[in-house]
Structure 1
């Protein structure tokens, strides 16, 4: 056959070693998925950059400086948690933005990959498998999360909020939070076959309440005792506590630091496996 060459038992068509391509896909399929989504982000890169860079300035100036003046005036020299309100608020705001971004990307992005533009089924028809799709998709979400996270860090360094080294540590903490929230949302969205408005529930009844009741704007201890459990199960609270310890040295026992990190790692790992299981079930039908 013209254009077909037999070599080492493999058939190459048009000079392409398809067996090698298949092996590469099985090894690096997750990166191919991530690259596909990252390239697709170019269509809205201008708004992505504008929102990602502008939000930290607006949030920290509006809530941190504006509201912070009132809080600091009432709290006196002690401030909140022993620091000015802006310093207390900044790491939690950065983590809240990470949670919101990871949640949004994994809501309609995952649902659309099955329903509206079924690229997951097309990917599954290649040597790329469900695990590759799940992990690759989440890697692309972390890239999306990285811009606002780095912007928050730069604003903190520029404004002299906390220590510069501590601000940099917010990046790995935020990426861990993004993975935990992203896989958790993905594991549920992947089970949804029809959109009857329930996808918006994540933003309204999960993201917003967790932002309000996870010690973001005030210490968790100031809430009534019967609401503390919301913070304890919230990945945002665990990340915010780690962020405050990193940024300005908030009191955090080593055991509690391990609890915070362990909770986020466990949540990410468990929901990642659950997502892979759900993807495999839907894609192999």
Structure 2
């Protein structure tokens, strides 16, 4: 009797261990799949962010404001205002996605509806949970950026053969800002207005003072450092290089890429460490 019971226990243990192999190996993708299913609940927002907002901005700025800016015939930096501003709007779209997905959804998973806690009770590791969230947002960014780039092509605002690389530049910028933002959000035990403050005093100034609508050199000297440290400025400048061959020293292009990659690594590692601290208890 005891031998039979012991054999049953060993068999159940073996089945349980076998069932946990796939989650342990592909855990981050399980989390990403969960996030995609959650995103279905706000599909309208995703569609508007991916198609509606870009269309409005491109038309309002690239067609409306551009008629005033281009009136002198020179445009901005030797190209039309539409061509100048389109890469910046694409890069800003990635920042918008990051602001949406790396704030309240992360807070939801840790605190308000602690799905991350439930996930950590399974064979999934806390680091895989953080990885899965970032992977899911990166894929959503790519979808949004591809749709935005398609609209840019429709407007005729991507003259360079390498213009499609704007998508990569936008992705780097969005993840650079988003990974750090996720790390910060993950440290919050309660939301007492911190995330709203981030939107008002980080995202908004970054959008206005990162050379998005006008060259950074036109701003007062004391405002320009906001652009230099902004992931949006670096991704926008990189996108302009790909879009229409914006002339800048090669070393500066390397700095753009290195800075964005460094922020992604720092934010990703920070997010993983916070996940281990909060979920690995």
TM-score, normalised with respect to structure 2: 0.93
Preserved CA contact (<8 Å) 2:141 2:171:
yes
1:39–1:164 Cα change, 3 Å:
farther
- 1:86-105 alignment runs, 5 A limit: 86-105=82-101
1:54 has 2:52 as partner: yes
Preserved CA contact (<8 Å) 2:126 2:280:
no
Structure 2: give runs of 5+ residues left out of the alignment. none
1:168 has 2:193 as partner: no
Alpha-carbon separation, structure 2, partners of 1:5 and 1:159: 71
Q: CA RMSD in A?
A: 2.1
Counterpart of 1:44? 42
Structure 1: give runs of 5+ residues left out of the alignment. none
- 1:166-245 alignment runs, 5 A limit: 166-245=162-241
* Deviation (angstroms), 1:98: 0.8
Aligned residues: 278
1:282 has 2:271 as partner: no
Preserved CA contact (<8 Å) 1:157 1:167:
no
* Deviation (angstroms), 1:276: 1.0
Alpha-carbon separation, structure 2, partners of 1:28 and 1:137: 13
1:222–1:5 Cα change, 3 Å:
farther
Counterpart of 1:66? 64
Counterpart of 1:28? 26
User: Residue 261 of structure 2: which of 235, 260, 265 is its match?
Assistant: 265
* Deviation (angstroms), 1:10: 5.8
Alpha-carbon separation, structure 1, partners of 2:67 and 2:15: 65
Alpha-carbon separation, structure 2, partners of 1:195 and 1:11: 46
Deviation track 1:33-80 (CA, whole Å, cap 9, x = no partner) reads 00111122122223422342111111000111101111111xx23210
* Deviation (angstroms), 1:201: 1.0
- Structure 1 residue ranges (4+ consecutive) displaced by more than 4 angstroms after TM superposition: 4-7
TM-score, normalised with respect to structure 1: 0.92
Alpha-carbon separation, structure 2, partners of 1:50 and 1:77: 34
Alpha-carbon separation, structure 2, partners of 1:45 and 1:38: 10
* Deviation (angstroms), 1:164: 6.2
Preserved CA contact (<8 Å) 1:5 1:12:
no
1:17–1:250 Cα change, 3 Å:
same
* Deviation (angstroms), 1:166: 3.1
User: Residue 119 of structure 2: which of 107, 123, 139 is its match?
Assistant: 123
